[in-house]
């Protein structure tokens, strides 16, 4: 959250920093500029600006044009701002990155610190906010400038561009007797399980008596403050006091929640400070780290395999995730953490609902603490209690159907407390009905026990809540596109393989709760009647297109690629026209079409069985496009499965996704069978090479994204960005378990997941490893 330092002071004339400018701009120094120059436009953020003719300078065939907003350009130490707009005067042949800086960071700050342009959006101005920086010195008005460049680009004519704004005056506010309260920017974003946020408060001038300022937070279920008030004296007035704002982790998938730090009016016998209004509130959002699916509860067991809380015959047990001998299913280990049934307003209290059996909750029965009647040991073994001695069969944890009574609500409620074993990544669960008892696993059963304080018992009463963390349940082959209308659009394979649906939201994480709209269903007979796979949504020349694969009613494995077209502004509305099969050079198994534009030319990349290579299930091909549903010739194979990690189970290269950055074109793709061996590989080409030449593409010798951290078979990805373009986002599917019953192709639990995509020092993408809660790395 970018925010200028706040200063509250006695009233003055409104917007003193907003004064008009009319002045020539310094000449540009850009010897490397052959046809493109930076265009800088300056305006005031506090009101509408009017364009006026500006000076024009630059190299032959170029101009650095200036539009202004009046006769003077000012920020202020009171937080006054101006806006600088930057654009190019001609299209570059490759991406351009322009650093942005202040000539004097002690007087003015800039945000963002870099702007980027591509050949497609070069004409769209980028706005830079310039904010006056406050200091405690009475140093008078100070002048600084916004500096742009040198730019970095693979286009020689766009590399090395520089420019500088006209003078900006930062108005001083530290004259004698100037009463003011200075509040700094928060140190960073507020996030559940993130680092605490700090900010500072100080006075701008020496008071004649102590000054006390009260503080409060708008929602104590989302955040807490380290101070209820701050006091400044005649001696300490200039020393900034640090306040810590800590996130409250509520374990609920409730999205980003607003948090406001409110200040009271100063209390003082100093008349100037007593007359001040309260400083403006700090507005933040507590970023959620709980996205979809709930949690697995892992124990502190340190054996060969981690043990998790599961349910069997409606009582709780611990076992490993691959325990098929006891007929454990993946959903048996999955728990929704919901607001406490006994007291939903207390964020430290929770209840656990079973994912596999909705309406059943983890529940310790206080009315009948020994529910199993005396039986023969043979019967007890049949009931799953054979390892638990009879005198330890009390206060067992059950999976009970919700009963709307106060007693049931209490018995199914637990308080989350710091882990008794001291592990900061774990928690302990105190029973709400009897605070002397904690959930503890014993002989593979789970009880509410009174602990004796030994290290063993403290360990057995500690659990890690591992978020399943998927964005959207049971959606494989996910594709997310951010459109110019401000919406993210989502398509993916539906487990029934019989329809195409779209959902949209203004944030990536908002897609989790967005209502899907079915826009097309399979044919009853003939082509496009089976295996509706991997739809992708693209906007091309003012129309929407969906590319997908489908089989035939007479041969469900006769998979071919098809295209749909819509002229509606919103692809979820209006009709979709079938543009038919995308015809390739060979009439063989073909799927996973994706399209991109590069250097003014549109391409299609897809996976197809190559009849010239025996044993390969699919290779990757590329072709130029005549129109959005017709390929030009030739079709060029750019990759085939050749390494062991590409041929495990099946010899597959498929599911291509294209990313252009740093003067290169990257194509990620999926390899091997769709079980835990499924993984991502990477192809790379220079942006200046012929993309239709197989020799332009280099394949990484090793996979770039493989099963890890309890996630299996990560693959069939796409790429998108955060709303402000500052974060690259990897979108993919993966399972939360390794062992699969039956054909993995028909296992529905490949869930859509997202996480931040990093970059290596050499400019190549860094995929890292699948993260259980990767959504927490992308903000909102």
For the annotated catalytic residues, the residue numbers are: 477, 654
Q: Where are the beta strands (DSSP E) in 348-444?
A: 349-354, 360-364, 397-401, 414-418, 427-431, 437-442
Contact between 1 and 186 (Cβ < 8 Å): yes
Give the pair of three-digit tokens for residue 553: 């009613």
Q: Where are the beta strands (DSSP E) in 461-542?
A: 463-467, 476-482, 488-493, 499-505, 517-521, 530-540
- Could you give the CA distance from residue 535 to residue 61 in angstroms, rounded to a whole number? 46
CA distances in angstroms from 705 to 228, 264, 712, listed in the order given? 47, 51, 11
Ramachandran bin of 17, using left for φ above 0, alpha for ψ from -120 to 50, beta for the remaining angles = alpha
DSSP assignments along 715-764, one per residue: EEEEEEE-TTS-SEEEEEEEES-S--SS-GGG----EEEEEE-EE-TTS-
Burial class (CB in 10 A: 0-12, 13-18, 19+), 55: middle
Backbone angles phi, psi at 401, to 5 degrees: -70, 135
**Of 653, 644, 521, residue with least CA distance to 589:** 653
Contact between 640 and 613 (Cβ < 8 Å): yes
Burial class (CB in 10 A: 0-12, 13-18, 19+), 399: buried
- List beta partners, residue 82: 44, 130
In which residue are the tokens 């004259």 written?
175
Contact between 495 and 541 (Cβ < 8 Å): no
Task: State whether residue 689 is helix, strand or coil.
Answer: coil
Secondary structure letter of residue 378 according to DSSP: H
In which residue are the tokens 């793709």 written?
669
Contact between 751 and 689 (Cβ < 8 Å): no
Contact between 562 and 547 (Cβ < 8 Å): yes
- Could you give the CA distance from residue 9 to residue 76 in angstroms, rounded to a whole number? 13
- Could you give the CA distance from residue 602 to residue 350 in angstroms, rounded to a whole number? 52
Report the 10 Å Cβ neighbour count for 219: 13
Q: Where are the beta strands (DSSP E) in 103-151?
A: 108-111, 114-117, 126-132, 142-144, 146-148
Burial class (CB in 10 A: 0-12, 13-18, 19+), 3: middle
Report the 10 Å Cβ neighbour count for 262: 15
Burial class (CB in 10 A: 0-12, 13-18, 19+), 408: buried
Report the 10 Å Cβ neighbour count for 598: 16
């Amino acid at each position: 959250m970018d925010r200028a330092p706040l200063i509250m002071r006695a009233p003055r004339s409104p917007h003193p920093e907003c004064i008009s400018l009319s002045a020539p701009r310094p000449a540009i120094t850009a010897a490397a500029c052959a046809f493109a120059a930076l265009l800088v436009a300056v305006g005031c953020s506090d009101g509408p600006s009017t364009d006026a003719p500006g000076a024009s300078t630059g190299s032959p065939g170029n101009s650095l044009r200036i539009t202004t907003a009046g006769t003077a350009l000012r920020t202020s130490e009171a937080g006054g701002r101006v806006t600088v707009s930057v654009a190019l005067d001609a299209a570059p042949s490759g991406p351009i990155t322009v650093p942005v800086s202040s000539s004097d960071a002690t007087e003015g700050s800039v945000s963002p610190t870099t702007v980027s342009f591509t050949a497609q959006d070069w004409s769209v101005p980028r706005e830079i906010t310039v904010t006056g920086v406050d200091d405690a010195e009475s140093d008078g008005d100070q002048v600084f400038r916004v500096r742009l460049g040198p730019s970095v680009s693979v286009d020689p004519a766009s590399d090395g561009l520089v420019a500088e704004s006209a003078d900006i005056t930062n108005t001083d506010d530290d004259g004698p007797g100037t009463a003011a309260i200075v509040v700094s920017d928060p140190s960073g974003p507020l996030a559940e399980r993130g680092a605490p946020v700090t900010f500072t408060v100080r006075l701008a001038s020496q008071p004649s008596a102590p000054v006390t300022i009260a503080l409060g937070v708008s929602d104590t279920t989302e955040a807490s403050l380290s101070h209820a008030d701050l006091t400044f004296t005649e001696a300490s007035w200039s020393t900034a006091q640090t306040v810590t704002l800590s996130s409250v982790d509520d374990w609920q998938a409730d999205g980003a929640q607003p948090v406001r730090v409110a200040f009271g009016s100063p209390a003082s016998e100093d008349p100037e400070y007593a007359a001040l209004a309260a400083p403006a509130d700090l507005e933040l959002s507590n970023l959620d780290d709980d996205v979809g699916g709930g949690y697995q509860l892992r124990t502190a067991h340190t054996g060969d395999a981690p043990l998790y809380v599961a349910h069997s015959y409606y009582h709780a047990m611990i076992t490993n995730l691959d325990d098929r001998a006891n007929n454990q299913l993946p959903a048996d280990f999955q728990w929704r953490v919901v607001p406490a049934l006994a007291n939903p307003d207390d964020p430290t209290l929770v209840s656990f609902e079973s994912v596999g059996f909705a309406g059943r909750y983890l529940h310790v029965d206080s009315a009948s603490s020994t529910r199993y009647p005396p039986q023969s040991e043979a019967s007890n073994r049949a009931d799953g209690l054979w390892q638990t001695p009879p005198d330890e069969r009390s206060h067992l944890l059950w999976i009970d159907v919700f009963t709307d009574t106060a007693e049931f609500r209490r018995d199914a409620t637990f308080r989350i407390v710091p882990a008794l074993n001291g592990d900061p990544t774990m928690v302990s669960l105190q029973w709400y009905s009897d605070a002397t008892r904690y959930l503890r696993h014993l002989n593979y059963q789970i009880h509410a026990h009174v602990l004796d304080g030994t290290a063993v018992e403290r360990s057995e009463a500690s659990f890690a809540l591992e978020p399943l963390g998927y964005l959207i349940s049971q959606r494989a082959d996910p594709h997310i596109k951010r459109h110019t209308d401000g919406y993210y659009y989502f398509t993916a394979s539906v487990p029934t393989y019989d329809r195409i649906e779209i959902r949209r939201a203004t944030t990536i994480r908002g897609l989790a709760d967005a209502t899907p709209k079915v826009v097309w269903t399979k044919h009853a007979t003939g082509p496009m009647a089976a295996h509706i796979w991997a739809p992708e949504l693209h906007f091309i020349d003012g129309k929407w297109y969906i590319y997908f694969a489908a089989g035939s009613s007479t041969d469900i494995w006769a998979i071919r690629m098809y295209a749909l077209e819509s002229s509606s502004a919103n692809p979820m509305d209006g009709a979709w026209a079938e543009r038919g099969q995308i015809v390739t050079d060979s009439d063989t198994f073909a799927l996973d079409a994706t399209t991109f534009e590069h250097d003014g030319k549109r391409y299609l990349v897809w996976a197809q069985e190559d009849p010239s290579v025996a044993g390969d299930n699919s290779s990757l091909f590329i072709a130029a496009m005549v129109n959005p549903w017709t390929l030009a010739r030739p079709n060029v194979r750019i990759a085939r499965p050749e390494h062991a990690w590409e041929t495990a189970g099946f010899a597959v290269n498929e599911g291509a996704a294209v990313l252009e950055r740093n003067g290169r074109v990257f194509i990620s793709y999926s390899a091997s069978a769709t079980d835990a061996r499924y993984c991502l590989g990477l192809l790379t080409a220079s942006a200046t090479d012929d993309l239709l030449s197989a020799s332009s593409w280099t394949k990484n010798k090793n996979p770039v994204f493989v099963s890890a951290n309890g996630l299996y078979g990560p693959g069939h990805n796409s790429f998108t960005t955060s709303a402000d373009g500052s974060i690259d986002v990897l979108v993919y599917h993966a399972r939360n378990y390794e062992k699969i019953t039956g054909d993995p192709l028909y296992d529905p639990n490949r869930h859509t997941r997202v996480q931040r995509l990093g970059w290596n020092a050499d400019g190549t993408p860094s995929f890292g490893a699948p993260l259980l809660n990767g959504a927490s790395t992308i903000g909102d």
